[in-house]
Each structure stands twice: as structure tokens, then as C-alpha cells.
Homo-oligomer: A and B are copies of this chain.
């Protein structure tokens, strides 16, 4: 069977277009840019993620004999098309925002410069990867802003949209500042710290809750977190106190407890009191259950004595805004800048660079988008990461990306740190050189003039 990570994991129209390109020898250099047209509700910024997976995809892109066999026999293409595909691999150039970079609408996150068929074919999977990781990194960054200094753990695998979403959500959340994930595979695959202790079923599988808690603690003498809401949270907290005394004599430590239901702020307070009075002042309280950045903010502002949070479904599905307006558009072909002028979907043409300007306090001030080569003040954000189909650098470590994201979030102006859409939209200016190019493209194409803000 053809594997999931197949060159055929793309839209059929990429293949139908490729046949047309091959049939006319349209192999000139094309420039496509991947960008996000607007912010989703509540978002004031986005955090770039997914570049590592995108580059891996480009490096490995090949059609296998089995895939070519399907192309030959599917009845959609004339003979000979598969021979073109057999020779295809990615030979182009990539510029991109480093992962963890905070960015805004209309700013290219990734630019592909390659012979037209190659640059076209990769559209679907590049968006698929960069969109999803950026979506989750952005959501995770909001959680980090809502609960600064707290231990945040991704609990989302079970309700993530499939296997890859589960794994990549762990990555995106971690790079944006989460402490780790419950997804075991993220440790060997990505080196992410993994967390996890027990579920309700463990307690239920024992005839007695106290016996279940004791059994589990004995299995992890160096310290574990006990789940205490299977029946009654406060009663279970007292059982933990009683248990801890006995266990201590045997050298077994109770590290903390987890709450997963009920009024978390109120329960955390009463459980904290029970633990403190029971001599377990150093035991931590971990909370989970339908949490998102809004609930985190509530719990933080209520001063709930919670040390860490497990955040699942809302994180990995970005449930309040489960997609971003990510697109990948042709900006230049055969040396000539191009733009799409569809109603409401017009794009800025040409190869672009983004320059960032800082305010006096070192926070983000505004960005300028212009054509590549237009000398501008400010910090250029897009960097060259791939040439001739090969990476220019070793993969960045997740730790380095995570440090960048943290540094970037620290530079966010206050107006953008809220969980609601800010009245002060971050300014992304279009430089005169880019406006000029857009006008030139419109004049050359000589058709209906596009409306630009």
C-alpha cells in the first residue's frame, strides 16, 4: 500500500496542472509565497512553526514506482506524464521566517523559488504542515501569555485530528513555550519532555480508591502525581494525606495531585489547605479538564493555587479558531511579477522581504513589507534556508526555536498580549517599492484594476 507520507498526498489539481506544464515545457522559475491573509478571531499575532517538517518534505519528495504506477493507470493522464514525475524532485530555493518568529498578516512565512512544476506540486503539503503547526504554536503562545510561569502540558493527542496532528501539536506547543506533552512518542521522535501519571480508569479498576492511590505511588517511589477526582476530590485529598505519611516512612514520595473536574479554583483552594495542613506543603496541584487560554486567565486572576495545567482539545484543535487563512500564491513566473486579483483575495506580487522596527523599549514597533532588494532600515525577517533542494544549515534544535519564541513573545507590545482582538492592530506597512510593483503588474496585465487598501 502507498504510505501516508506520499508524493500523492496532494490535491489532484497539482498533478493535472503539472501535466499541462510539462506538455508545454513550462519549467521557468516560479516564486510562490506562503502567507496568512488575516488574523483569526481573538488573535493579535501568529507564531511561525512547521518549517522543519516543510524542509524535510521538500528534501524527500520523490514519486515511488508504486505511485507512478497509479498515475499511469488512473485514467486521468496521458502516457508519458508519469515519466516526467519519475524525474521530479525538489531542486529549488527556500526563504523563510525562522520557527518561533512572531509575524502578522500579509508577511511571507515561506518563499519557494523553483522550476514551476516543482514549486506548484508542493503547495498542498507545505500549507498542510506550516498552517497546522503555526495554528497550534499561536494557540499555545496565548496559553503561555495567560498563565505565565505555570507548568503547561499538552494533553491533546486523543482529540487531535489524527496521528500527525497529535505529534506535531506537541512540537508546536513546546516550541511556543509549553513545558512538555503527554504524547509518549514526542520524546523519542522530537526530544520533548513527556508527562503523565494515571487516569480515572486506574482508580476504578481497584476496588478501593485509597488502595489504588497507594498502589500507584508504590510503583513510582521517586514521586508521582495522583489523580483525586474520580469520586470526591476533597475526600481523596485527605486519603492522599493519610497515605503520604505511611509512604514517607517507606521512602516513597507523593509529588502532587491532579484535579480533572468540578470548580477547579475552589477545589484547588480546599485541596491546597488539606495538603498544607497534612504536611504536604511541597506537593503540587495540577489541573486539567476543558481548559483553554481563557480559563487559564480566569484561574490565574482568581489566584487559584494551581501549579500546572494539562491543556488538551482546545490546544490541539485550536478550538476557538481551528484554522488560519493560510495561502500559497504565485508571485513571479519567468522573471515577471504576478498577482491574483480575485474579489477579496488579491495578493501583493513579487519576491518580498519583511523588515521589523522596534520601539524605544525594544518591543515590536511596526513591520514593513517590500520587494526583495529594496534597501530598508529595520531587521530583515526572512532568511535563506535551502538552495538547490538542500538545506543550508543543520536542523535547528527545538530548544533554540523555543528560546527564540520566548524572546519574541517578550518583545510583544502590551496591546497585542491580550486574548481578545486588540483595538491597536500591529502596523504592517507596504513599502512604496511594493506598491509600485503592484501597479506595474496591473498596468502590464491591462485588465480590471485591483482595489488595494
Contact, CB under 8 Å: A187 / B70: yes
Interface centre among A70, A200, A318, by most chain B C-beta atoms within 10 angstroms, is A200
Which of A3-11, A415-423, A428-436 makes up part of the contact surface? A3-11
Contact, CB under 8 Å: A10 / B184: yes
Interfacial residues of chain A within 292-351, with CB under 8 A of chain B in the complex: 313, 316-319, 322-323, 326, 328-330, 333-334, 336, 338-345
Closest to A26 in B: B205
Q: Which of B2, B19, B32, B158 contacts A127 (CB 8 A)?
A: B158
Q: Which residues of chain B are near A261, meaning CB under 8 Å?
A: 342-345
CA distance A129 to B215 in the complex (A): 31
Q: Which of B135, B163, B199, B344 contacts A262 (CB 8 A)?
A: B344
- A24 an interface residue at 8 Å Cβ cutoff? yes
Given contacts A16-B196, A330-B204, are A448 and B184 in contact (CB under 8 A)?
no
Minimum C-beta distance from A428 to chain B (A): 22
- A410 an interface residue at 8 Å Cβ cutoff? no
Q: Which residues of chain B are near A231, meaning CB under 8 Å?
A: 341-342, 445, 447-448
- A188 an interface residue at 8 Å Cβ cutoff? yes
CA distance A155 to B322 in the complex (A): 16
Minimum C-beta distance from A342 to chain B (A): 4
The residues of A with any CB-CB pair to B shorter than 8 Å are: 1-2, 4-6, 8-17, 19-21, 23-24, 26, 30, 32, 67, 70, 74, 76, 116, 120, 123-125, 127-129, 131-132, 135, 155, 157-169, 182-185, 187-189, 194-202, 204-205, 207, 209, 215-216, 219-220, 224, 229-233, 235, 260-262, 313, 316-319, 322-323, 326, 328-330, 333-334, 336, 338-345, 445, 447-448
Contact, CB under 8 Å: B342 / A262: yes
CA distance A322 to B132 in the complex (A): 14
Q: Which of B26, B166, B207 contacts A128 (CB 8 A)?
A: B166
Contact, CB under 8 Å: B330 / A205: yes
**How many copies of this chain are found per oligomer?**
2
CA distance A340 to B216 in the complex (A): 18
Q: Which residues of chain B are near A10, meaning CB under 8 Å?
A: 157, 183-185
CA distance A205 to B338 in the complex (A): 8
Q: Which residues of chain B are near A197, meaning CB under 8 Å?
A: 13, 16
Contact, CB under 8 Å: A204 / B161: no
Contact, CB under 8 Å: A158 / B11: yes
CA distance A342 to B290 in the complex (A): 14
Contact, CB under 8 Å: A163 / B162: yes
Q: Which residues of chain B are near A185, meaning CB under 8 Å?
A: 2, 4, 6, 8-10
Q: Which residues of chain B are near A313, meaning CB under 8 Å?
A: 323
CA distance A187 to B187 in the complex (A): 34
CA distance A24 to B214 in the complex (A): 12
Closest to A182 in B: B11
Q: What are 16 pairs between A and B in contact, CB < 8 Å?
A: A4-B164, A9-B157, A12-B183, A21-B205, A70-B188, A76-B194, A124-B158, A161-B322, A162-B162, A162-B164, A163-B164, A209-B447, A230-B341, A232-B447, A261-B345, A319-B323
Contact, CB under 8 Å: B124 / A157: yes
